[in-house]
Amino acid sequence: MNGSMDLQAIRSAAVVGVGDGVLARAEVAEITSDGLIVVRCTDGSLWPCEVLDTAGSPARPISLGDRLLVLRPCGNEPGVVLGRVGRLASSPTESKVTIQATELLRLQCGEASIDLLADGKVMIRGEDVLLRAKGTQRIRAGTVAIN
């Protein structure tokens, strides 16, 4: 953890007065280096939790400040994050998406792939590669080698 919260103290506090199956609304207070999510319930108590992983799990990762529904811990076990709480977005909120990697970003489907490398190289691989343009298709480079 970041040193701001003692996990053992949180676990000890989590055991006091908690019955089985208590649901609570909470907010993500911290995400530990070992993957536990520390949540702050509406009563101010802190609880270590794990995430319920299902086939329909949200695509967006859980972040600090997210509002959640949690099943509070029983005994020395961590609680369980059941999901995010909020209003359903009717349309995408992002008009641009950035995916970053430090060395290599690869999109792959079967034998086809696109690699973006940190040094600026782009590699497109596939059995057949088709480039289409409705308007002008330009190739700008220091040199162009064909075959």
Residues 50, 44 contacting (CB under 8 angstroms): no
pLDDT tens figures, 99-136: 888 999 999 999 999 999 999 999 999 999 998 999 99
pLDDT tens figures, 32-57: 988 889 999 888 888 899 888 776 65
Class of domain 7-84: mainly beta
Q: What is the mean pLDDT of residues 87-97?
A: 70
> Who's near 28: CB < 8 A, 6+ residues apart?
37, 38, 39, 62, 63, 64, 65, 66, 68
The pLDDT score that the predictor gives to residue 108 is: 93
The pLDDT score that the predictor gives to residue 120 is: 93
What residues does each domain of the chain span?
A: 7-84, 99-127
Q: Is the pTM of this model over 0.85?
A: no
